[in-house]
Amino acid sequence: MSEHKLQVVPLGGLGEFGMNMTAFCFGDDIIVVDSGMMFPDSDLLGVDLVMPDLTFLKERQSSVRALILTHGHEDHIGAVPYFLTDIDVPVYGTDFTLALVDRRLEEYRLEVKPRFVHVKPKQVVEIGPFKVEFIHVTHSIVSAVALAITTPLGVIIHTGDFKVDPTPTDNELFDLHTLADYGKRGVLLLLSDSTNADRPGYTESERAVRPRIEEIFNRAEGRVVVSCFSSSIHRIQLVLDLAKEYGRRVAVIGRSMVSVTEIAHSLGLLEIPDDILLRPQDAMGLEPSKVAILISGTQGEPMSALSRVAVDNHKHISVEKGDTVVLSSRIIPGNEKAIFRMIDHMAKRGADVMYGTMNPPLHVSGHSSVEEMKLVLNLVRPKYFMPIHGEFRQLSKHAKLAEHLRYAGLLDSFVMESGEVLEIDARGARKAGKVTVGHVCIDSGSLDDVVQDVVIRDRRHLSEDGIVLPIIAINRSTGRVESLPEIVSRGFAAAEDGSEFMQAARQVVARTLEGSNQEEKTDWGVMKEKIRADLKRYISKETSRRPLIMPVILEL
């Protein structure tokens, strides 16, 4: 076996939140775990989502054997449609995870029908030299699994996202016994979720949310409007159960909320009490104290159902004085402005909006805190450890948590970044270079979904400094400029028609035209570049601004 090498290649999700994707390579065989996306930063203007660069996998397409999914959150399945467009392989996952993927694929036209392989916890599948066992874990979404990947060099444990919930609402406990069993037999490498590595103690159980939500149902006199992540089936079940208990009927609002509840109900993961559902168009006609609303849009997304309700622009639902609005979710960093603006709109109309940290809580994390991370480390006792899922500070803290295992067989921890290769062979483990990784920006409304860097750069440029259009009319037969060039601008403060600055700018363009020889004047590409360069120099000198300059030449 000494000539055989096992390579672990994180293609996203390390040093960042989202875009989780890891390739495991042995000989000529590759399996890929997860294919996620992340939401764009504010500087990625007009971009809908960001996914990992698949160059590494495309170059080795014939070696890729399978895509294995740990659970159905967007940061783990969001890029699957783009993955399958380029790489046609079987996709392994639990029923609920694959149902969510299938729903996403309806929006895309794949040339080849996806090959789904449905698996259950404790099931073992063989894929080339890899043997993969699926291990049930507790998380904020149902049907989440960890993976035990047996390779010719040893066992790799990939936890996926998890928390150790001792009292899950569906009574499906984290399968710690199987993890411990692998730990006793010996684990080569552990890859473990680092999201909450800077949060001490234990993450609260999902059941901790019930007292607060129950109190709201108990005292609310008007409608109760609850917004949570549509994938939080446990939270949706809680709202349905409390609505039944307190004599309210429930309207389910928002495309993702409706779709996911239908999927979960069809798979037996969500119990909907008889006669409790209410058509959205009937919700405002009932007495407010008899209505509860489940609605998507916790993050203030501009066209989400809750955002439209907030500005009174939803066709069926509005928020009135006396209503209670509950945001049962965390605020994802970067979304604060949009969320608080939405809250302000509803507060102005007299609604009581409940959000943020409370005790008892409105929301609990789906990720393990420090003590749970230590528990998994102690059960697995790996030879090598590689923290995954999180920014560098979380990965680093998680690696430090494993230091005590140095006395129990841990040889090394590797704090990696996306693109770095961890190589393991009979002689040990080491970092072994980098592969091509990066962010691919997707604008789903464009003709070509992938947004090039130059497009992002131009959008940023326009947002900061505006645009200036010098318009030059040239006589086709004589080649002469018919009149003084016009200049049109947008988003450029210094530019007012008739201003001294604008007149001087027109003269700059005129001088460029006059100073050009006849050959240059017949090559409009050259003329545009000359006009752009001279006008850019003048505007920068006068205003220290750098608008996007696009000369337009009209033939007369």
Which one-letter amino acid corresponds to residue 225? Answer: V
> What per-residue confidence (pLDDT) applies to 491?
73
Across 399-508, the runs of DSSP E, i.e. the strands, are 412-413, 420-425, 428-434, 439-442, 450-451, 467-474, 486-490
> What per-residue confidence (pLDDT) applies to 447?
32
Q: What are phi and psi of 218, to 5 degrees?
A: -70, -40
Residue 99 placed within a domain: yes
pTM of the model as a whole: 0.81
Domain finish residue from 354, 376, 393: 354
Q: Are residues 177 and 287 in the same domain?
A: no
Average pLDDT, rounded, for the chain: 89
pLDDT tens profile 162-216: 999 999 999 999 999 999 999 999 999 999 999 999 999 999 999 999 999 999 9
Domain CATH for 312: 3.40.50.10710
**Looking at residues 473-487, what average pLDDT do you find?**
73
Residue 336 placed within a domain: yes
Longest dimension (CA), the chain: 89
Taking a C-beta distance cutoff of 8 angstroms, is the pair 367, 162 a contact?
yes
> What per-residue confidence (pLDDT) applies to 444?
57
Q: Are residues 265 and 247 in the same domain?
A: yes
Q: For residue 411, what pLDDT band results from cuts at 50, 70 and 90?
A: very high
Taking a C-beta distance cutoff of 8 angstroms, is the pair 180, 163 a contact?
no
Q: Are residues 30 and 165 in the same domain?
A: yes
Residue 535 placed within a domain: yes
Out of 161, 175, 193, 465, the active site residue is 193
Which one-letter amino acid corresponds to residue 431? Answer: K
Residue 455 placed within a domain: no
Q: For residue 446, what pLDDT band results from cuts at 50, 70 and 90?
A: very low
**Which residue, 8, 64, 67, is CA-closest to 33?**
67
Distance between CA atoms of 187 and 179, rounded to whole angstroms? Answer: 10
Output b/e per residue, 306-318; b: 16+ Cβ within 10 A.
bbbbbeeebeebb
**Looking at residues 357-380, what average pLDDT do you find?**
95
Q: For residue 108, what pLDDT band results from cuts at 50, 70 and 90?
A: confident
* Residue 53 known to be catalytic: no
Residue 340 confidence (pLDDT) above 70 = yes
Structure tokens at 2: 């000494």
Q: Are residues 47 and 84 in the same domain?
A: yes
Distance (Å) of CA 410 to CA 2, 216, 377, 413, 506: 21, 48, 10, 8, 71
Q: For residue 476, what pLDDT band results from cuts at 50, 70 and 90?
A: low
End-to-end CA distance of the chain: 77
pLDDT tens profile 36-54: 987 765 555 455 678 888 9
Taking a C-beta distance cutoff of 8 angstroms, is the pair 291, 248 a contact?
yes
Residue 457 placed within a domain: no
> What per-residue confidence (pLDDT) applies to 448?
44
> What per-residue confidence (pLDDT) applies to 254?
93
**Looking at residues 263-282, what average pLDDT do you find?**
95
Residue 194 placed within a domain: yes
**Looking at residues 431-453, what average pLDDT do you find?**
67
Q: Are residues 26 and 152 in the same domain?
A: yes
Q: For residue 460, what pLDDT band results from cuts at 50, 70 and 90?
A: low
pLDDT tens profile 118-175: 999 999 999 999 999 999 999 999 999 999 999 999 999 999 999 999 999 999 999 9
Helix (H) or strand (E) holding 460: helix 453-465
Domain count, the chain: 3
Residue 347 confidence (pLDDT) above 80 = yes
Distance between CA atoms of 364 and 366, rounded to whole angstroms? Answer: 7
Please give, one letter per residue, the 3-state secondary structure of 325-382: EEECCCCCCCCHHHHHHHHHHHHHCCCEEECCCCCCCCCCCCCCCHHHHHHHHHHHCC
CA atoms within 13 A on the CB side of 94: 25
Specify the 3-state DSSP secondary structure of 421.
strand
Distance (Å) of CA 119 to CA 144, 372, 491: 11, 26, 55
Q: Are residues 279 and 397 in the same domain?
A: no
Q: Are residues 240 and 256 in the same domain?
A: yes
Q: What are phi and psi of 298, to 5 degrees?
A: -65, -25
Burial class (CB in 10 A: 0-12, 13-18, 19+), 182: buried
Q: Are residues 159 and 38 in the same domain?
A: yes
List CB contacts of 69: < 8 A, sequence separation 6 or more: 33, 34, 35, 76, 77, 80, 91, 92, 93, 97, 98, 101
Domain CATH for 500: 3.10.20.580
Domain finish residue from 380, 408, 442: 442
Percent of the chain whose predicted confidence (pLDDT) is above 90? 66
Q: Are residues 322 and 392 in the same domain?
A: no
pLDDT tens profile 527-536: 788 888 888 8
Taking a C-beta distance cutoff of 8 angstroms, is the pair 520, 526 a contact?
yes
Domain limits at 47? Answer: 6-201+365-442
Residue 550 or residue 367, greater confidence: 367
> What per-residue confidence (pLDDT) applies to 1?
33
Q: Are residues 429 and 481 in the same domain?
A: no
What does the CA dihedral 102, 107, 110, 112 come to, rounded to 10 degrees? 30
> What per-residue confidence (pLDDT) applies to 463?
63
> What per-residue confidence (pLDDT) applies to 439?
76
Taking a C-beta distance cutoff of 8 angstroms, is the pair 168, 204 a contact?
no
Q: What are phi and psi of 440, to 5 degrees?
A: -105, 120
Residue 453 placed within a domain: no
> What per-residue confidence (pLDDT) applies to 539?
83
Distance (Å) of CA 311 to CA 199, 229, 257, 339: 36, 20, 20, 13
* Residue 234 known to be catalytic: no
**Looking at residues 332-358, what average pLDDT do you find?**
89
Distance (Å) of CA 259 to CA 99, 119, 313: 10, 22, 22
Q: Are residues 176 and 137 in the same domain?
A: yes
> What per-residue confidence (pLDDT) applies to 445?
44
List CB contacts of 492: < 8 A, sequence separation 6 or more: 465, 466, 467, 468, 545, 547
pLDDT tens profile 276-320: 999 999 999 999 999 999 999 998 887 789 999 999 989 999 999
Helix (H) or strand (E) holding 116: strand 115-118
Out of 367, 389, 398, 439, the active site residue is 367
Residue 57 confidence (pLDDT) above 90 = yes
Label the pairing between strands 552-555 and 467-474. parallel
Residue 230 placed within a domain: yes
> What per-residue confidence (pLDDT) applies to 526?
76
Residue 455 confidence (pLDDT) above 70 = no
